[in-house]
Amino acid sequence: GQETRGKQKIEIKIIKNEDDRLISFSKRRTGIYKKISKLSTICGGEILFIIFLLAGKPYSFGHPSVESVAKRFLNPNQPFNKTTDAPVEAYCKVRINLLVKDFNEVYDQLDVLKEKQKAIDLAQKSHGT
């Protein structure tokens, strides 16, 4: 014999307990997002998934992004590549701005260290004479 009952088929119906319903959704949400992402990759399409729970809280998933797919939905005549390139360009701009900010902070720290080194060198020269 078999020790466990294995994977059981559950009856599809609304879960009456609200807490249990939210727990079930949170456990299944990542699985749904993975399936949607695979579908987008396999079919080469843009996908937007929005769900409003009974409490009114919205959850969304979009590929390449929620914003680009929503814009394309609102303007279906927009060329496909304009919507898919936009999130990549936006990400690149944000990333470049962060890298420039980091570079400037490091450069400022270097200037401070150079000034400290000059002060140390000057102090050592004055004590040596």
**What's the length of the chain?**
129
State the SS3 of 102-122. HHHHHHHHHHHHHHHHHHHHH
Rounded to whole angstroms, how far apart are CA atoms 49 and 59? 8
Hey, what long-range contacts does 26-32 have (CB within 8 A, 24 or more apart)? 29/59, 32/61
Per-residue pLDDT reduced to its tens digit, 56-69: 888 888 888 888 88
Q: What CATH number does domain 11-80 carry, 3.40.50.150, 3.40.50.300, 3.40.50.11720, 3.40.1810.10?
A: 3.40.1810.10
What is the SS3 assignment for 2? coil
Q: Output the pTM of the full model.
A: 0.49
The model's confidence at residue 80, banded by pLDDT at 50, 70 and 90, is low
Say which residue the tokens 């919205």 belong to.
58
Residue-level pLDDT at 116 = 92
Which residues are paired to 63 by β-bridges? 47
Residue-level pLDDT at 117 = 93
Per-residue pLDDT reduced to its tens digit, 19-52: 898 888 888 888 888 898 888 888 888 889 999 8
Domain extents in the chain: 11-80, 81-128
Which helix (H) or strand (E) covers residue 49, if one does?
A: strand 47-52
